[in-house]
Amino acid sequence: MRFSDLLDAVRSQPQALSIPAEWGQGRATFGGLIAALQYEAMRAKVPADRPVRSLAITFVGPVEPDVPVSFEVDVLREGKAVSQVLGRAMQKGQVVTLVQGSFGASRPSEVAVTASIAPEMKHRDDCQELPYIKGVTPEFMRHMAMRWSVGGLPFTGNTSREMGGWVRLREAAREEAVSEAHILALVDAWPPALLPHLKKLAAGSTLTWTIEFVQPLLALNTLDWCKYLAEIEYAADGYGHVAAKLWNTDGQLIAMSRQTVTIFA
Q: What is the pLDDT of residues 77-90, one digit of tens each?
A: 999 999 999 999 99
Q: CATH homologous superfamily for 118-202+214-255? A: Acyl-CoA thioesterase, double hotdog domain (2.40.160.210)
Residues 6+ apart with CB under 8 A from 67: 18, 91, 92
pTM: 0.95
With 0-12 / 13-18 / 19 or more C-beta atoms within 10 angstroms meaning exposed / middle / buried, residue 190 is: buried
Reduced to 3 states, what is the DSSP secondary structure of residue 35? helix
Confidence class of residue 173 from pLDDT cuts 50, 70 and 90? low
The string of DSSP letters for 40-77 reads HHHHTTS-TTS-EEEEEEEE-SPPPTTS-BEEEEEEEE
CA 222 to CA 144: how far, in whole Å?
11
The residue ranges of every structural domain in the chain are 1-105, 118-202+214-255
- Average model confidence (pLDDT) for the chain? 94
pLDDT score, position 218: 94
Task: Please write the tens of the pLDDT for every residue from 3-51.
Answer: 999 999 999 988 889 999 999 998 899 999 999 999 999 999 999 999 9
The class that CATH gives domain 1-105 is alpha beta
